[in-house]
Amino acid sequence: MIKIISVVGARPNFMKVAPLHRAFVASGKIDSRIVHTGQHYDARMSDIFFNQLGLPEPHHYLGIGGGSHTYQKANVMLRFEAVLEEEKPDLVLVVGDVNATSAATLVATKMGIPVAHVEAGLRSGDRKMPEEINRVVTDSICQYHFVTEHSGLVNLARENTLSKGIHLVGNVMIDSLIHFRHQATEESVLTELSLIAKTYILMTMHRPQNVDNEAGLLSIMDIIRRSCAHLPVVFPMHPRTKNNLKKFGLYDELESTENLHILEPQGYLQFLHLMDNARLIITDSGGIQEETTYLQVPCLTFRSSTERPITVELGTNILMQNLDPDRVMAEVGMILEGFEKKGTIPPLWDGKAAERITKILLERFHAKS
């Protein structure tokens, strides 16, 4: 048996590791273990995902919690080292670009344990984003690079990345979406909110550059108010955003907006159901740009750059360079009038990425033994 430890830390990791864990177990040749760093610890940010995605209880829970990024990473490193000493895996697998991704990679590499990075090669070019630093650090020292879109191959080549293998394999997050899409139709969240499919706007917003300052929050509130004049807006709110709205004394005013539904962070199935039926999604998330591209739902992303350019080139994503409410509302108006960007689904986003990764890893380890 090959022992693989997959590391998760924050919400966007769980749906990426779930199909990999399933494929590893199904192979009958991989002892698949999960380490949860505990960066996201709330029931609504973490537990519900484990339950809905069929992930096992983590084999190790590091209990890091919130705190500055330095605090999070330093503690992951100390505690993950002890786990690796005990487990002695053949491979550590990391996904995405959160703090756990780079911290675990540093520790494993230092201990001579190979690391595979799933979602390698993505670059926004914006080093002010903590995620960009995590991507660059991880890719520069891990051994296997599994890539979701062509731009990842170009970026890794440009950086002269040393690798035992760079493979374009598709997108494990889309594996989860395809696997759970039908099951999500049974969710009752639309009925509970008296919403009709394709007649509401879905919103998520949590990036520090948008929600850590009052000016950004005021622009977002303006956009919400003006959007609510057209259609109901559904806003599952990330804890960072809620904390900041309260800090600036804006939460109560926002909450009283007519036609706005502020929700707690949603489970995976509930949120997938909300995305699939939305008329339009306004977000600053990384992953939602890809999910809307697959679902072919119009998406406005409040970011000046994207590490996932295929969602703009082929998909339904449009970047809004700054939070100018007039420009955003002009775009919203066009979409609601039916002049929306039609997209296509990127190559290999077909639900089989985890199987491809498993096959490649088995071949590699088989060749070595």
User: Which spans of this chain sit near ligand UD1 (rule: CB under 6 A)?
Assistant: 10-12, 39-42, 45-46, 66, 98-99, 130-131, 206, 238-240, 243, 286
Cα–Cα distance, 235 to 245 (Å, whole number): 13
What per-residue string of b and e applies to 294-306 under the rule 16 or more CB within 10 Å gives b? Answer: bbebbbbbbbeeb
| HSE of 4, CA atoms in CB hemisphere, 13 A | 24
Report the residue number, 39 or 316, with the smaller CB distance to ligand UD1.
39
Report the nearest approach of ligand UD1 to the CB of residue 158 (Å). 23
206 is catalytic: yes
Distance of CA 152 to the CA centre of its chain: 16
Tokens encoding 120: 């390698």
Strand 30-36 with 60-61, pairing: parallel
Cα–Cα distance, 317 to 85 (Å, whole number): 44
Query: Is 192 in a helix, a strand, or coil?
Result: helix
Report the residue number, 145 or 238, with the smaller CB distance to ligand UD1.
238
Report the nearest approach of ligand UD1 to the CB of residue 66 (Å). 3
Cα–Cα distance, 260 to 233 (Å, whole number): 5
Residue with the closest Cβ to ligand UD1?
66
Cα–Cα distance, 56 to 366 (Å, whole number): 26
Report the residue number, 10 or 234, with the smaller CB distance to ligand UD1.
10
Report the residue number, 83 or 94, with the smaller CB distance to ligand UD1.
94
Cα–Cα distance, 220 to 323 (Å, whole number): 7
**Residue for token pair 């895996």:** 89
User: Contact, 257 vs 234, CB < 8 A?
Assistant: no
**Residue for token pair 């969240």:** 189
Report the residue number, 10 or 122, with the smaller CB distance to ligand UD1.
10
Report the residue number, 49 or 349, with the smaller CB distance to ligand UD1.
49
- DSSP string computed for 34-45: EEE--SS-SIII
Report the nearest approach of ligand UD1 to the CB of residue 258 (Å). 28
Report the residue number, 39 or 124, with the smaller CB distance to ligand UD1.
39
User: Contact, 172 vs 145, CB < 8 A?
Assistant: no
Report the nearest approach of ligand UD1 to the CB of residue 326 (Å). 27
Report the nearest approach of ligand UD1 to the CB of residue 134 (Å). 6
Q: Strand pairing partners for 282? A: 203, 300
The CA angle 354-355-360, to the nearest 5 degrees, is: 100
Report the nearest approach of ligand UD1 to the CB of residue 147 (Å). 19
User: Contact, 99 vs 68, CB < 8 A?
Assistant: no
Cα–Cα distance, 143 to 353 (Å, whole number): 18
Q: Which of 117, 206, 238, 273 is catalytic?
A: 206
Report the nearest approach of ligand UD1 to the CB of residue 302 (Å). 13
Give me the active site residues, please: 206
